[in-house]
Amino acid sequence: MAEVILKNVNKTYLSQKEKVEAVIDLNMEIKDGELVALLGPSGCGKSSTLRMIAGLEEITSGDILFDGERVNELSSMERNIAMAFESYSLYPHMTVYKNIGFPLDVMKVDRAEKDKRIHEIASVFNLEQFLKKRPPELSGGQQQRVSLARALVREPHVFLLDEPISHSDAHLRFQMRNEIKKLHFQLEATMIYVTHDQIDALSMADRIAVMNVARLHQIGTRDELYDTPVNMFVAGFVGEPHINFLECETAKQGGEQVLHVRGSDNLDLKISKAKSAKINEKKLDKVWVGVRPQNVFVSREEGVVEVGGAVEFSEFIGEKAITTVQNGGAEFRMLTPTDVKYKKGEPIKGYIPDEAVLIFDPETEEAVY
Amino acid sequence: MAVLEFKNVTKHYGKVEALKNVSFETIDGEFLVILGPSGAGKTTTLKITCGLVNPTEGSVFLDGQDITKFPPYSRNISMTFETYSLYPHMTVFDNMAYPLRSKKGEFTEDVIKERVVTIAKMLHIDPLLDRFPSEASGGQKQRIALGRTMVRKPEIYLLDEPLAHLDAKIRVELREEFHKIEELQKTTTVYVTHDYIEALSLGDRIMIMNEGKLLQIGTPEEIFERPVNYEVARQVGQPAINAVECEVVKEGKGPALRSVEEPDCVFSLNSEQQSFFKQYDKNRLLLGIRPKNIGLKPVKDADEHDGIIDVFQPLGSEGVLTSNIGKLSIVGLIDPEAKVKHDQKVKLYVDTKAMYFFDNETMKNLML
């Protein structure tokens, strides 16, 4: 296994028409045995980053080190990595059995051991019934699993996975996340996983690196990204359901400083003195407040910051219900019990713990802590 | 008024039975979602509705009129496809205006402009009208395709997996926007998806299909809380419902259910459930328990079981815990910030009043 370090890594694509900066000034340390997810929207630079780590793309500037050794000039083969990429081709003329076994053939693993490993990994990914088939006979999702199995049958320094489960249905993805996570635990492998789907990232990663428009915004555990995002992009991108962003102005109510939600009739957030002090320190009279719907509770015991309004509509989605509440021209969403049916216009109150009220500077969009 | 009706529609493609005797009727103005996995027959249903494909047997009615033999252009029904099919050499404006220009002289250019701009503003794509599709993002392309279907004000909108190829984040945003597009909310709309969250969120009613058959049609609550069979229960929910094959044990304090895979695991029944099982003449059944009814916190009337943690997936608003009760693997939902470890011994609480019982052969919900 290996520790992977990226130092001031840049990737620029040059074409006749233009110069595209795909990755800018990326610094990241992935510890030995860690599973780090590179998460971000399409075009954020995560795949370019992975391809540079893999040796499939030239590094425009900066260094990539495996266990302290600079690998910029080494080929993919020499880096001893395993890849399962969304579009990484399988050998169409070979059976699934041979495809999965190929890396072991290259490593000259003995026949009995190879057979055992192939069957083990095939069973993990529900591929036993396909071992004698060839890739063109399989569906997209099945081919992806073969690609994943082929990558995981070895024991390389680093596993690089690029959207390896995107073409499977929801239930299969759930099962495969369990399997990847278990394998990670058993192999204690360094894994770098690229995805645009935060569920993949949240469910499997030790830490998540959030990227947007060529830059790394924050790298941290799920709890860190949830509770202390560094800016509005991270707070908005990582979070299911989507965070509420409320435009607020500082105001005085009964001698205390509150945050009045613009456009609302009476949404005045009574935040703690400590938070108010931080806002005043930065001399902000306007702020963006971020509150996650799951932190707006129906029960008064859960939080001190009270909000309320009239029910606009309720989205029942099985395991949870998301209710949209209106207050004058402002609205926010909260999770409500699934067995309660709210009528449109019904008054409702929500209670938010003070630490769940995130404050952002409207100019820089950075969090104020 | 736009009531769509299918009467005994069957469709064969050679040997493949894409639709098997499908009958249903929409409610005027409803947002009907067809939910099912790949190959269920959802797209075939839409194609037969708009006339791109003819049924092998059966008829299609629109407002009581038999339109089965009508060609697509004489049915006032619009369809968007999963792959947007925008004309790359035309501007966004011209793409959206295209359906209005198909018959020369039908609409004046002024009317066309007014319609296109109104719809573009509704879908927040008015800044793109002079651009070309290649300059638009995936989410924007989706909206352009949708706008193109909306300009002719059809009686029925057919949307085939409109969010399928978009990033997860954008899918959620657009799903929320669909709620706010009044035109779709008040006009009969049939929306196809394989994503049950979209179905539950958007549908006034949901039609569950699988392998060419219509399994159930009902409101989101009906589908979720009273699935007609195990297949419906399995499709609606993430993670999928736990399915435990059980034997009815009748000794002791009253009927209880013992897992076949792990005989040490017994699920107790409340008095109402016990009365049912006293009469039950079979020995086996399939027990269904939704992950949200299994957790680490005791709830009223819950069954306590000794379990060992297998894998924990912390997500956004909940955490998914896969554990083993002996040899039985079971999935529950817990606090996403819970600090649990692989192989940790825990007590699992199963809310037995929320259990579903399915016939282990027919898969039918025994309580309905």
- Per the CB < 8 Å rule, is A203 touching B337? no
Q: Do B314 and A202 touch (CB under 8 A)?
A: yes
Q: Classify residue B118 by burial, with Cβ atoms within 10 Å: 0-12, 13-18, 19+.
A: middle
**Interface contact flag, A222 B314, Cβ < 8 Å:** yes
* Span B268-272, average pLDDT: 90
**CATH number of the domain residue B149 falls in:** 3.40.50.300
Non-local CB neighbours of B234 within 8 Å, separated by 6+ positions: A171, B240, B241, B243
Q: Do A198 and B168 touch (CB under 8 A)?
A: yes
pTM: 0.84
Determine the pLDDT at residue A43.
Answer: 85
Give the residue-averaged pLDDT of B99-119.
89
DSSP-based three-state secondary structure for B90: coil
Beta bridge partners of A335: A322
Q: How many CB pairs under 8 A join A and B?
A: 100
How far apart (Å, rounded) are the C-alpha atoms in residues B181 and B163?
15
**What is the mean predicted confidence (pLDDT) over B241-266?**
91
Q: Which of B172, B294, B311, B335 to mutate to test the interface with A (most CBs of A within 10 A)?
A: B311
How many Å apart are CA A23 and CA A45, to the nearest integer? 5
Is the Cβ of A240 closer than 8 Å to some Cβ of chain B? yes
The three state secondary structure string of chain A is CCCEEEEEEEEEEECCCCEEEEEEEEEEEECCCCEEEEECCCCCCHHHHHHHHHCCCCCCEEEEEECCEECCCCCHHHHCEEEEECCCCCCCCCCHHHHHHHHHHHCCCCHHHHHHHHHHHHHHCCCHHHCCCCHHHCCHHHHHHHHHHHHHCCCCCEEEEECCCCCCCHHHHHHHHHHHHHHHHHHCCEEEEEECCHHHHHHHCCEEEEEECCEEEEEECHHHHHHCCCEHHHHHHCCCCCCEEEEEEEEEECCEEEEEECCCCCCEECCCHHHHHHHHHCCCCEEEEEECHHHCECCHHHCCEEEEEEEEEEEECCCCEEEEEEECCEEEEEEECCCCCCCCCCEEEEEECHHHCEEECCCCCEECC
Residue ending a domain, choose from B185, B200, B235: B235
CA distance B107 to chain A (A): 38
Radius of gyration of chain A, Cα coordinates, nearest whole angstrom: 25
Q: Which of A42, A171, A239 sits opposite B240 (nearest CB)?
A: A171
Report the pLDDT averaged over residues B341-353. 93
Tell me which H or E stretch contains B102. none
User: Using a CB-CB distance cutoff of 8 angstroms, which residues of chain B are in contact with residue A315?
Assistant: 179, 200-201
B314 pLDDT exceeds 90? Answer: yes
Contacts of A149 (CB under 8 A, 6+ apart): A100, A121, A122, A124, A125, A127
Residue B190 lies in a domain: yes
The region that residue B44 occupies, defined by phi over 0 for left and psi between -120 and 50 for alpha, beta otherwise, is alpha
- Same domain, yes or no, for B166 and B280? no
8 A C-beta contact, residue A179 and residue A125: yes
Same structural domain, B36 and B178: yes
Domain residue limits, chain A: 4-237, 244-360
Architecture of domain A4-237: 3-Layer(aba) Sandwich (3.40)
Judge contact between B49 and B78, C-beta under 8 A.
no
Res. B57: pLDDT tops 90? yes
User: In the sheet that B242-249 helps form, which strands lie side by side, from edge to edge?
Assistant: B266-268, B256-259, B242-249, B284-289, B356-358
Residue B201 sits in the same domain as residue B324: no
pLDDT above 90 covers a percentage of chain B that reads: 65
> Nearest residue on chain A to B138, judged by CA atoms?
A42
Beta bridge partners of B304: B349
Long-range contacts of A168-172 (CB under 8 A, 24+ apart): A168/A141, A168/A144, A169/A141, A169/B37, A169/B38, A169/B194, A170/B195, A170/B196, A170/B238, A171/B234, A171/B238, A171/B239, A171/B240, A172/A126, A172/A141
A185 near B CB under 8 A: yes
* Pair B135, B249 in one domain: no
Structural domain boundaries, residue B24: 4-235
A255: Cβ–Cβ under 8 A, 6 or more apart, which residues?
none
Cβ of residue A302 closer than 8 Å to a chain B Cβ: no
Whether A181 and B313 lie within 8 Å, measured CB to CB: yes
* CB contact (8 A) between residue B315 and residue A239: no
Tokens 């792990």 belong to residue: B262
Which portions of chain A are predicted below pLDDT 50? none
Q: Assign residue B354 the CATH number of its domain.
A: 2.40.50.140
Looking at the structure, tell me whether residues B288 and B230 fall in a common domain: no
CA distance A106 to chain B (A): 33
User: Do the domain assignments include residue B84?
Assistant: yes
- Residue A253 phi/psi, 5° resolution? -140, 115
Q: Are B310 and A182 in contact (CB under 8 A)?
A: yes
Which of B221, B292, B311 shows the shortest C-beta gap to A319?
Answer: B292
Same domain, B120 and B169: yes
Say if residue B12 is in the same domain as residue B51: yes
- Establish if A167 touches chain B: CB-CB under 8 angstroms: no
Give the pLDDT of residue B281.
Answer: 87
Q: Cα distance from A256 to chain B (closest Cα, Å)?
A: 32
Task: Tell me the fold of A244-360.
Answer: OB fold (Dihydrolipoamide Acetyltransferase, E2P) (2.40.50)
- In what helix (H) or strand (E) does residue B120 lie, and over which residues does it extend? helix B109-122
- Check CB contact under 8 Å for B316 and A320: no
**Are residue B217 and residue B254 in the same domain, yes or no?**
no
Residue A88 has a pLDDT of 59
- Assigned domain for B187 exists: yes
Q: Do A42 and B237 touch (CB under 8 A)?
A: no
Mark yes or no for CB contact A202/B320 under 8 Å: no
Gap between the Cα atoms of A35 and A33, Å rounded: 7
- Is the same domain home to B223 and B249? no
Among residues B235, B251, B270, which one ends one of the domains? B235
Domain count, chain B: 2
Residues 28-47 of A with CB under 8 A from B: 41-42
Which residues face A160 on adjacent strands? A83, A192
Asked if A114 and A101 count as a contact pair (C-beta separation under 8 A), the reply is yes
Provide the shortest C-alpha distance from residue A323 to chain B (in Å): 11
pLDDT, one tens digit per residue, over B177-208 is 787 787 788 899 999 998 888 899 899 999 99
Task: Report chain B residues whose CB lies below 8 A from the CB of A205.
Answer: none
Name every residue whose Cβ is closer than 8 Å to that of residue A347 and which is 6 or more positions away in sequence: A308, A309, A310, A311
Q: What is the pLDDT of residues B317-332, one digit of tens each?
A: 899 999 999 999 999 9
Mutation site, B290, B317, B318, B329, interface A, largest A CB count within 10 A: B317
Whether B252 and B155 share a structural domain? no
Cβ within 8 Å, pair B311-A237: no
Q: How high is the pLDDT of residue A87?
A: 62
- From the list B38, B197, B315, the residue facing A202 with the nearest CB is B315
Q: Is residue B367 part of a domain?
A: no
ω into residue A337 within 30 of 0, thus cis? no
A317 vs B: CB within 8 A: yes
Nearest CA in chain A to B242: A171
Q: What is the DSSP letter of B49?
A: H
- Calculate mean pLDDT across residues B164-173: 79
B22 lies in a domain? yes
pLDDT, tens digit, for every residue of B277-307? 988 889 999 999 999 999 999 988 889 999 9
CA neighbor of B32 nearest in space, from B21, B20, B45, B44: B45
Give the distance from residue B168's alpha carbon to the nearest chain A alpha carbon, in angstroms. 6
Name which of B313, B339, B340 to mutate to probe chain A: the one with the most chain A Cβ atoms within 10 A of its Cβ.
Answer: B313
Determine the residue of chain B that is closest to A227 in CA distance. Answer: B337
Shared domain check, B275 and B149: no
Same domain, B180 and B54: yes
Last residue of a domain, one of B206, B235, B264: B235
